[in-house]
Amino acid sequence: MAICVLGINHKTAELKIRERFSIPESNYKSHLEKLISSELIDSAVVISTCNRTEFYLSTSTLDCLKKEAENVLGFATDIDSVYTKTGHDCAAHLFAVTAGVDSLVVGETQIQGQVKRAFDEASQLGLNGEINKLFQMAFKTAKLVRSDTEIGRNPVSVAHCAVQLGRQIFGSLQQQNVLIVGAGETAELLIRYLINHNAKNITIANRTTKNAKKMANIFQAEVIELAEIESHLSEFDLVFTATASPQQLITRKATEEAIKLRKYKPMVMIDLSVPRDIDEQIKLMDDVFLYAVDDLQKVITENMQRRENTISEAKRIIKAEAELLDQWIKSQQHHNLLKQYQQKVDGIKTTVLAKQIKASTPDDEAKKYQNLAHQVAKKLSHDNISGIRKIIESGNEEHIKLIADLFNLELNDES
């Protein structure tokens, strides 16, 4: 089986295209079931965040994979913004994603949890050895990058950059009325960063009010119903949205009414959701400043400049770990060579013993022959087994073929 990734991200596509590919975590299972129902796909993991949607697959053939995925998933994959990476490149890509090196905000901390949840969801449906090993090594690599480079120091996130943007616009956040739409991980990070910057007046709105009230109790915030957002919108100076809602939650019409009630006092809205929660037409309004994920680039660029020196070291770790996985996969492809060799040795031993041990041979004498044959076979084959194992682990295909020819072993034997 070969490993590959089929995906789209913030580097290859703008937000309006990424929205078409976005998959809520609650829908992972149905997409996974569709993928593994294909005869070409043995195992799959789906990762979808505000910056990317990616399908990690173990497949018997890479030919026509895009077309197969298109048939299974029901959307076009033949656009320039969709990329396919295989083998070593696939592993290096996932390792960079999990470590936060491929993120919009380099070093952001949320992605590792998002990858872990995607892996756990896929694990419930069963994963083969290659995909399981791929993700286990991704988590190991992320840990190495965070512990051995400066990326792990003072970690940041998209939420951090969004709050920084709010501070750049308003200066102090102490007097601003802030609305957080959502009660998930990103919403919690937003609130923590806001409180760290002295924000006092925070209100939470969420589809499930139980989750909103639980968060509000922790942070001494207010709560409103999701359906009440538009009627209360005029009360807020700064609005953040971070949900997985497939529908818009804040419309231009409601915002126009809110601005009138505010007597045209400006508002700032920062939409961290994909698909977007806030109508993009609001950008055309004079007294509302709307920012989406991709608009955080200035804050992110400053973050990148501070962390640039750490990227090369992180990539070195990622490359080394990807090469280790590559060797492991190659060794798995040829692990049957050792089994074949041992079967040959056992076959020769059995043939020799059959000639020496007759029906009339006493049991104790037969046992001596068997013990002696076992010891001789073990000693004679020990060095050969060690050599075959080392060559397989090296991943050198030319040497592996040579050793298979030398001992008359079948490379394509999948037993």
- Work out the percent of the chain whose per-residue pLDDT is above 70: 90
Tokens 């000693």 label which residue? 379
Whether pTM exceeds 0.75? no
Residue 411's pLDDT is 77
Residue 412's pLDDT is 59
Q: What is the mean pLDDT of residues 228-239?
A: 95
**Range ranked top by mean pLDDT from 50-59, 131-140, 312-321:** 131-140
Residue 155's pLDDT is 63
Mean pLDDT of the chain: 87
Q: What is the mean pLDDT of residues 16-43?
A: 89
199 vs 377, residue with greater confidence: 199
Domains of the chain listed by start with CATH number: 2-154 (3.30.460.30), 158-295 (3.40.50.720), 334-406 (no CATH)
71 vs 168, residue with greater confidence: 168
4 is catalytic: no
CA atoms within 13 A on the CB side of 295: 19
Helix ranges restricted to H, 174-243: 185-196, 209-219, 229-232
Residue 308's pLDDT is 64
Mean pLDDT lowest among 104-113, 114-123, 212-221: 104-113
Mean pLDDT lowest among 11-20, 62-71, 252-261: 62-71
Q: Is 401 helix (H, G, I), strand (E, B) or coil?
A: helix
Residue 196, judged by CB atoms within 10 A of its CB (0-12, 13-18, 19+), counts as exposed
Residue of 50, 64, 90, 161 with catalytic role? 50
Residue 33's pLDDT is 92
Q: Residue 272: phi, psi to the nearest 5?
A: -100, 10
Sign of CA dihedral 67, 71, 73, 77: positive
Choose among 380, 372, 400, 376: nearest CA to 388: 400
- Work out the percent of the chain whose per-residue pLDDT is above 90: 49
Tokens 């806001």 label which residue? 194
Cβ atoms of 142 and 98 within 8 Å: the answer is yes
Would you state the structure tokens that stand for residue 124, as one six-digit string?
């419930």
Q: What is the pLDDT of residues 380-405, one digit of tens each?
A: 888 888 888 788 777 677 888 888 88
Q: Residue 56: phi, psi to the nearest 5?
A: -95, 125
Mean pLDDT lowest among 63-72, 81-90, 276-285, 287-296: 63-72
pLDDT at 415 exceeding the cut of 50: no
**Range ranked top by mean pLDDT from 32-36, 340-344, 359-363:** 32-36
CA distance 122 to 46: 8
Q: What is the pLDDT of residues 110-146, one digit of tens each?
A: 899 999 999 999 999 999 889 999 999 999 999 999 8
CA distance 90 to 110: 21
CA distance 126 to 58: 12
Q: Residue 105: phi, psi to the nearest 5?
A: -105, 105
Residue 218's pLDDT is 92
- E strand residue ranges, 1-40: 2-9
Sign of CA dihedral 121, 124, 125, 131: positive
pLDDT at 71 exceeding the cut of 80: no
pLDDT at 414 exceeding the cut of 50: no
**Range ranked top by mean pLDDT from 169-178, 346-355, 356-365:** 169-178
- 45 forms bridges with which residues in the sheet? 56
pLDDT at 413 exceeding the cut of 50: no
